[in-house]
Amino acid sequence: MDQRLEMLRGGCSAVGWQTEDGNALWARNMDFNRMAAGSAPTYLPKGTVMTAAEGVTAPAQYAAVGMGLLAVPGLPLLYDGINEAGLMGGQLYFRGLARYADGPEPGKQPMQPPLLVGWMLSQCATLDQVAQALEQEFTLVNTPLLGAVSPLHWSFSDSTGEVMVVESDANGLHIYRNTVGVMTNSPSYDWHRTNLLNYAAIRDLDYDTVELGGERLEQCFSGSGAQGLPGDWSAPSRFVRLAYLRKFAVRGKDEKQGIARLLRIMGSAAFPLGMVRVSQPGEATELDQNIQPWDYTIYTVAACAQTGRFCWTTYDNPAIRSVTLSELARFHQPMQLPIWEEPEFLPVLAQQ
């Protein structure tokens, strides 16, 4: 494996959810050991020239906001985000299994994997349109971008609340519709889905009294219904944990409460700094900064399809930042917002 490609391994988890009043939410953790310099909440207004591959460009049909990069002239990048039609999504690492074609299929245009999120959010309003573009208009190609071919797969959701997973492996393109609403990293989505059968007994209800050999044991702690739920940070364990949390966790009554509770769910899969030490930190590129010997959850984002709201937290600053596409509509050029990584404290007594 190319060393530059190998350095692009990492974590990442994504979850789609809904509130009691029908708001569709989507969130993701970005788990890695570095961030490209200049990465920040990035707004791309309608009309921004977007790129799918060298020589393949089009003006954005929809404004979008997400974590991204404007450091490369003429090449706006989004790692994740939401557009004004309510389409949400992001890229996750698909280490060891991602495979792309050497060139586009007849009648199709090439799509470089790291550019897929920005392109789809700028050109599509629904999951149906994303699927159609990938099946009929584009071929994912292994053309390097910034010196590497990133091993990626993708999670998308829209205002219906459906979550779609997109993968390209040695057997070709796979688009999974009406999924369990969760995605992490390798192995593939169909493997993770089948693996859930190994945890079929997990439930939200505690197990009560146990009788063994005439001995009666009364329950003395909570959470026994979830015994066996994996607690490590591997992709299979995070997938199982998030799938059951998504099933049993109490939904928020509205957007505000829903996003707060979804971020709590994402925290259960977040990488604590120091627990996931990497054997090969990887070579630094000109865009890399603050390289750590550990993968950790650099940031978490959440979005709401119905309101166009985009929220984020960072590892050292759990305060929820928020912006809506309607608020950003008065800006007509691509722009970035402060990411606010430094810890903050709310001085309660000072407000009395």
Catalytic machinery residues: 12
Whether 1 and 50 have beta carbons less than 8 Å apart is answered as: no
**Beta-bridge partner residues of 82:** 65, 88
DSSP secondary structure string, 280-300? ------TTEES--SB-EEEEE
Strand partners, 24: 18
How far does CA 208 lie from the centroid of its chain?
38
**CA-CA distance, 40 to 335, in Å (whole number)?**
10
Render 209-269 in DSSP notation, one character per residue: -EEETTEEE---SS-GGGTT---S-SHHHHHHHHHHHHHHSPPPSSHHHHHHHHHHHHHTT
* Dist. CA 58–CA 228, nearest whole Å: 49
CA-closest candidate to residue 96, choices 192, 43, 170: 170
